[in-house]
């Protein structure tokens, strides 16, 4: 899951990036309203964490602009203001949730995961494909009820494919789910992750659609390559 963090306080941003990375999120951080506009116009983010107080203005102004333009990306707003009126203003302006600084990273992560579940219409934590289940909260995967150990980006790739619900995702879309703007990507990195998932979960778990990309295939418990 890829998140845009709009926060100009460097220590706060570094803490959020580190905390969310442990939960399998890819985080791109920008520090101004202007760069946030460009980022959201360029990349399809799963959610935005938006600070209200930014060097070039109020984050709520940007949020209202997005909602007026029918941008439906979920937004979790951060603020140092703890007045009820301020929180109400943010929610009425289009925020999906609100968190007051200083905040606990575990709470931020939990709120973000809850927000994404609500957006996807999920009731419980786990997302499933046949007998394959992935819990985004515990970062665990089971196959036929048995645990499967996946590396961080293997798990992120699997989550992106399950959430796509059978849609074809291009190689570039999948890389966007796995890597941030500043990450260096080896030319064969995606192929390696796909190979490892097929080896661990079954050769047919990921279907290659020639010329278009990849999608989840029919479930197959045969985990041989």
Q: Which of 4-13, 123-132, 182-191 has the lowest average pLDDT?
A: 123-132
CATH number, domain containing residue 91 = 3.40.50.2300
| 48 is a domain residue | yes
Q: Which residues contact 158 (CB under 8 A, 6 or more apart)?
A: 134, 141, 150, 197, 201
Whether residue 45 lies inside any domain: the answer is yes
- Determine the pLDDT at residue 24: 85
Please indicate, yes or no, whether residues 97 and 165 belong to a single structural domain of this protein: no
Number of domains in the chain: 2
* Strands across the sheet containing 127-129: 127-129, 132-135, 140-143, 146-148
Same domain, 90 and 181: no
Burial of 140 (0-12, 13-18, 19+ CB in 10 A): middle
- State the residue range of the domain holding 81: 2-120
| CATH at 168 | 1.10.10.10
Q: Residues 104, 138: one domain?
A: no
**Boundary-marking domain end, from 71, 103, 120:** 120
The reply to whether 222 falls in a domain is: no
Q: 165 with 92, same domain?
A: no
Q: Is residue 155 part of a domain?
A: yes
Share of the chain above pLDDT 90, in %: 48
Four-CA torsion 173, 175, 177, 181, nearest 10 degrees: -110
Mean predicted lDDT score pLDDT of the chain:
87
Same domain, 6 and 115: yes
Confidence band, pLDDT 50/70/90 cuts, at residue 187:
confident
pLDDT digit string, tens, across residues 44-87: 898 999 999 899 999 999 999 999 888 889 999 998 777 677 77
């Amino acid at each position: 899951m890829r998140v845009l963090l709009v926060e100009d306080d460097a220590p706060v941003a570094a803490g959020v990036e580190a905390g969310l990375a442990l939960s399998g999120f890819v985080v791109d951080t920008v520090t101004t309203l202007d760069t946030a506009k460009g980022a959201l116009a360029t990349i399809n983010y799963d959610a935005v964490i938006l600070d209200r107080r930014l060097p070039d203005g109020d984050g709520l102004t940007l949020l209202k602009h997005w909602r007026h333009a029918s941008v439906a990306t979920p937004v979790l707003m951060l603020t140092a203001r703890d007045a009820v009126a301020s929180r109400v203003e943010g929610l009425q302006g289009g925020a999906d949730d609100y968190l007051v600084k200083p905040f606990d990273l575990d709470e931020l992560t939990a709120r973000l995961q809850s927000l994404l579940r609500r957006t996807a219409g999920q009731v419980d934590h786990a997302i499933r494909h046949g007998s394959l289940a992935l819990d985004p909260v515990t970062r665990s995967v089971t196959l036929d009820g048995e645990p499967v150990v996946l590396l961080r980006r293997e798990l992120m790739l699997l989550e992106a494919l399950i959430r796509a619900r059978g849609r074809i995702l291009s190689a570039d879309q999948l890389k966007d789910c796995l890597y941030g703007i500043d990450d260096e990507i080896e030319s064969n990195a995606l192929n390696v992750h796909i190979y490892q998932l097929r080896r661990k979960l079954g050769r047919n778990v990921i279907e290659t659609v020639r010329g278009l990309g990849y999608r989840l295939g029919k479930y197959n418990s045969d985990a041989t390559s």
